């Protein structure tokens, strides 16, 4: 009789208590063939909580790919059980199409949920995976295609050598009239027996000078603007002025300027780059233009020009604040990398605070005698946002052999891989 794997239970109100907990838990459960039960799904959200369309879509794919037994897989469900049966190496189809029920469901969050499983789905032939996801590409409270394209995926390539070709087929918005978009990805999964690992074994990501607390280290700032045509000129000028004031040594490059087609759709992404683009920090804004713009007089709504000044000033200051914190990643990138740290072989660090000496000394001590204090994982922990600390907790629950040191700044991953 086959041995029954004990189910792991997670309270969906833990830490950030939202959809991120669900995505990471199901992604790692699929990778490790580990049954899970999540109660109080998205229990910390002000709305009624429960699964949203994008969660159902991602988990439905993982359930089909792993031959899983699932219960509670419907929008609004507050309890989910997921019992995967097949390993990533048993993936049947390498040409995959996933369509969210709602055009407002984030294609990027669906990608984050299924990508770890597919990354480990290599076969002896080295066949590539082609993945197409339809839904929203610029959606409130989720990363955009531009952020994934310019920050997350370049960092995965720089740190782990993971190369993902990506192409925006159609743009999809959650603001204004809903519009379904689509994104295509193509990548070659890790081969059987090959774990995920840093490109330079045993180093802190970014090398000795990764922790940057000085804006003078920023060499370039890329700007992407998808805004109404009448805003483009004023916003470009305001951004250039604000960024030059805050980052005097940086070259400002307008990487993308596109007409959003509606006043309800204003999206801007700023990406600060250092070390030849190896280290990146991103900050973005998604909003609508106030209706019936009038003059800036008392009680009036801002004109497009005044709105451009406001957006440029606020977003530039947020990027500046992100860089001067120090560290190798921004607030959002740090939590998105936790799952890859847990899966990887060896020690990784993607810190977001300027404590370089302490980190280097701790890494040296850990390498020499293994006596750096191991962090308890009974609840969300470590530096960074609530999303980051929750991600560490979920990863540790699903992969108990993961070890965290120095307030979560250093991760000893499990080096999970599929058998040859």
pLDDT digits (tens, 9 = 90+) for 215-249: 888 999 999 999 999 999 999 999 999 999 999 99
Contact present, 209 and 294 (Cβ < 8 Å): no
Residues 128, 228 within the same domain: no
pLDDT for the residue 200: 73
Residues 313, 281 within the same domain: yes
pLDDT for the residue 413: 95
Predicted TM-score (pTM) of the model is 0.92
**Burial (Cβ within 10 Å: 0-12, 13-18, ≥19) of residue 142:** buried
> In what helix (H) or strand (E) does residue 143 lie, and over which residues does it extend?
none
Phi, psi of 326 (to 5 degrees): 90, 165
The owner of tokens 């959809």 is 19
Alpha helices (H) along 258-330? 304-324
Query: Which of 88, 263, 101, 78 is closest to 189 using CA atoms?
Result: 88
pLDDT for the residue 209: 43
Residue 12 tokens read as 């969906």
Phi, psi of 287 (to 5 degrees): -160, 180
pLDDT for the residue 419: 85
Residue 84 in any domain: the answer is no
Contact present, 145 and 168 (Cβ < 8 Å): yes
Three-class SS state of 11: strand
Rounded to whole angstroms, how far apart are CA atoms 408 and 374? 9
Phi, psi of 349 (to 5 degrees): -150, 125
Residues 319, 224 within the same domain: yes
Query: Which of 100, 122, 97 is closest to 109 using CA atoms?
Result: 100
pLDDT for the residue 204: 52
Rounded to whole angstroms, how far apart are CA atoms 349 and 334? 10
CATH number at residue 256: 3.30.360.20
Residue 223 in any domain: the answer is yes
Rounded to whole angstroms, how far apart are CA atoms 38 and 387? 17
Residue 47 tokens read as 């709305």
Dihedral, 319, 325, 328, 332 alpha carbons, nearest 10: -60
Residue 225 in any domain: the answer is yes
pLDDT for the residue 290: 81
Rounded to whole angstroms, how far apart are CA atoms 103 and 337? 26
Residues 248, 299 within the same domain: yes
Residues in the chain where the model's pLDDT stays below 70: 1-3, 46, 201-213, 292-301, 354-376
Residues 177, 270 within the same domain: no
pLDDT for the residue 207: 44
Residue 143 tokens read as 């990363």
Beta strands in 63-170 (DSSP E): 69-71, 80-83, 95-99, 129-135, 164-170
Residue 202 in any domain: the answer is no
Contact present, 266 and 340 (Cβ < 8 Å): no
Residues 312, 226 within the same domain: yes
Residue 410 in any domain: the answer is no
Residues 185, 221 within the same domain: no
Residue 294 in any domain: the answer is yes
pLDDT for the residue 407: 83
Contact present, 136 and 101 (Cβ < 8 Å): no
Residues 230, 147 within the same domain: no
Domain boundary among 273, 290, 324: 324
Q: Measure Cα distances from 225 to 68, 123, 228, 254, 407 in Å.
A: 42, 40, 9, 8, 37
Domain boundary among 297, 324, 351: 324
Residues 172, 244 within the same domain: no
Residue 287 tokens read as 């909003």
| Number of domains forming the structure of the chain | 2
Residues 316, 223 within the same domain: yes
Residues 242, 300 within the same domain: yes
Residue 187 belongs to domain spanning: 96-192
Three-class SS state of 182: strand
Domain boundary among 324, 356, 380: 324
Residue 232 in any domain: the answer is yes
CATH number at residue 149: 3.65.10.20
């Amino acid at each position: 009789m086959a041995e029954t794997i004990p189910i792991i239970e997670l309270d969906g109100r833990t830490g950030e208590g939202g959809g991120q907990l669900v995505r990471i838990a199901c992604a790692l459960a699929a990778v490790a063939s580990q049954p899970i039960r999540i109660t109080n799904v998205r229990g910390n959200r002000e709305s009624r909580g429960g699964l949203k369309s994008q969660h159902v879509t991602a988990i439905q794919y993982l359930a089909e790919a792993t031959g899983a037994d699932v219960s509670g897989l419907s929008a609004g469900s507050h309890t989910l059980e997921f019992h995967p049966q097949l390993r990533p190496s048993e993936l049947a189809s390498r040409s995959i199409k996933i369509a969210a029920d709602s055009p407002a469901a984030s294609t990027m969050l669906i990608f984050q949920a299924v990508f770890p499983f597919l990354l480990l789905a290599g076969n002896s032939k080295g066949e590539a995976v082609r993945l197409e996801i339809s839904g929203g590409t610029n959606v409130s409270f989720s990363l955009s295609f531009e952020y994934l394209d310019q920050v997350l995926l370049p960092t995965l390539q720089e740190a782990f050598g993971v190369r993902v070709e990506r192409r925006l087929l159609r743009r999809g918005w959650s603001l204004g009239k809903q519009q379904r978009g689509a994104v295509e990805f193509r990548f070659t999964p890790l081969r059987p027996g090959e774990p995920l690992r840093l490109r330079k074994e045993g180093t802190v990501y970014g090398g000795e000078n990764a922790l940057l607390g000085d804006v003078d280290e920023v060499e370039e700032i890329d700007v992407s603007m998808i805004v109404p045509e009448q805003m483009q000129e004023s916003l470009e000028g305001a951004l250039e002025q604000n960024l030059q004031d805050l980052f005097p040594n940086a070259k400002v490059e307008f990487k993308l300027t596109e007409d959003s087609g509606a006043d309800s759709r204003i999206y801007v992404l700023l990406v600060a780059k250092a070390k030849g683009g190896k280290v990146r920090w991103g900050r973005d804004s998604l909003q609508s233009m106030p209706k019936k713009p009038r003059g800036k007089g008392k009680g009036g709504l801002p004109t497009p020009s005044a709105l451009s000044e406001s957006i440029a000033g606020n977003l530039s200051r947020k990027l500046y604040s992100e860089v001067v914190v120090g560290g190798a990643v921004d607030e959002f990138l740090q939590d998105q990398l936790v799952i890859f740290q847990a899966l990887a072989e060896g020690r990784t660090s993607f810190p977001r605070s300027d404590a370089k000496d302490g980190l280097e000394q701790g890494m040296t001590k850990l390498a020499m005698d293994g006596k750096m204090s191991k962090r308890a994982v009974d609840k969300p922990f470590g530096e960074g946002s609530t999303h980051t600390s929750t991600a560490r907790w979920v990863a540790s629950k699903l992969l108990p052999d993961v070890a965290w040191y120095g307030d979560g700044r250093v991760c000893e991953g499990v080096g999970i891989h599929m058998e040859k």
